[in-house]
Structures are given as structure tokens and as C-alpha cells.
């Protein structure tokens, strides 16, 4: 996940990333949100990626146009996004949650 912010002055997120694999082809990161409101911080994805949720629940997504949407996730059910997605991902649950992000670096 690229950590470039949309405004140049965005604050870093509070979610905890743990990188498990980082080589010339793939980066695999677990993002852990300890409490409701924890977030990744604004970023733009520089690579195609897949997310695998490790929980059943919702994430709130802040978008560049100022809107917020929610994503209903199911444990173990992955989704794919293409390069260029820009957002801040926020834990919308009253419990700790996490997902694994797999970035395709080439």
C-alpha cells in the first residue's frame, strides 16, 4: 500500500501494518485495527491488489471527494482492486479486526 496522502498534510493512520512478504514481485501486509475508528491513513495504491478479510463486519472508506462509504466484509472472502484507488480505510466495528493485503508489484 502506498502511503502517499491526497492533500500533502494528512496524518498517519493508527492501524498497525505487519509486512510478511516483500520481494520484487509481491508484498503481503496484515493491517490490524485494534479499535473502532483506527485507520490506515490516506493513501493511493500504486499496484493492483487483493484484500482478504480476517473478520465478518464493516470497514468505512473515506474517498477523495469527501464522501464516506461502507464495505461489508466476510471472513476469508477476498476482493480485487486495480492500481490507483485512493482512500482512507477505517474500522467501523466495535471490535478489533484485520485484513491481509496482497500487492502485485509487477
Superfamily assignment of 16-104 in CATH?
Answer: Jelly Rolls (2.60.120.10)
pLDDT in tens, 54-98: 999 999 999 999 999 999 999 999 999 999 999 999 999 999 999
The rounded distance, in Å, linking the Cα atoms of 67 and 72 is 17
Instruction: Report pLDDT for 12.
Output: 87
Q: Please choose, from the candidates 96, 102, 104, the residue with its C-alpha nearest in 3D space to the C-alpha of residue 15.
A: 96
Res. 3: pLDDT tops 90: no
pLDDT in tens, 12-54: 899 999 999 999 999 999 999 999 999 999 999 999 999 999 9
CA angle 67, 31, 69 (to 5 degrees): 15
Amino acid at each position: 500500500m502506498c502511503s502517499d496522502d491526497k492533500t500533502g498534510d494528512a496524518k498517519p493512520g493508527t492501524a498497525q501494518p505487519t509486512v510478511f512478504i516483500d520481494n520484487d514481485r509481491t508484498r503481503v501486509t496484515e493491517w490490524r485495527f485494534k479499535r473502532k475508528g483506527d485507520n490506515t491513513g490516506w493513501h493511493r495504491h500504486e499496484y493492483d491488489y487483493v484484500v482478504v478479510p480476517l473478520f465478518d463486519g464493516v470497514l468505512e472508506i473515506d474517498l477523495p471527494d469527501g464522501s464516506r462509504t461502507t464495505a461489508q466484509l466476510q471472513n476469508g472472502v477476498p476482493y480485487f482492486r486495480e492500481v490507483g484507488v485512493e482512500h482512507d480505510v477505517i474500522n467501523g466495528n466495535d471490535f478489533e479486526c484485520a485484513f491481509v493485503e496482497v500487492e502485485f508489484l509487477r
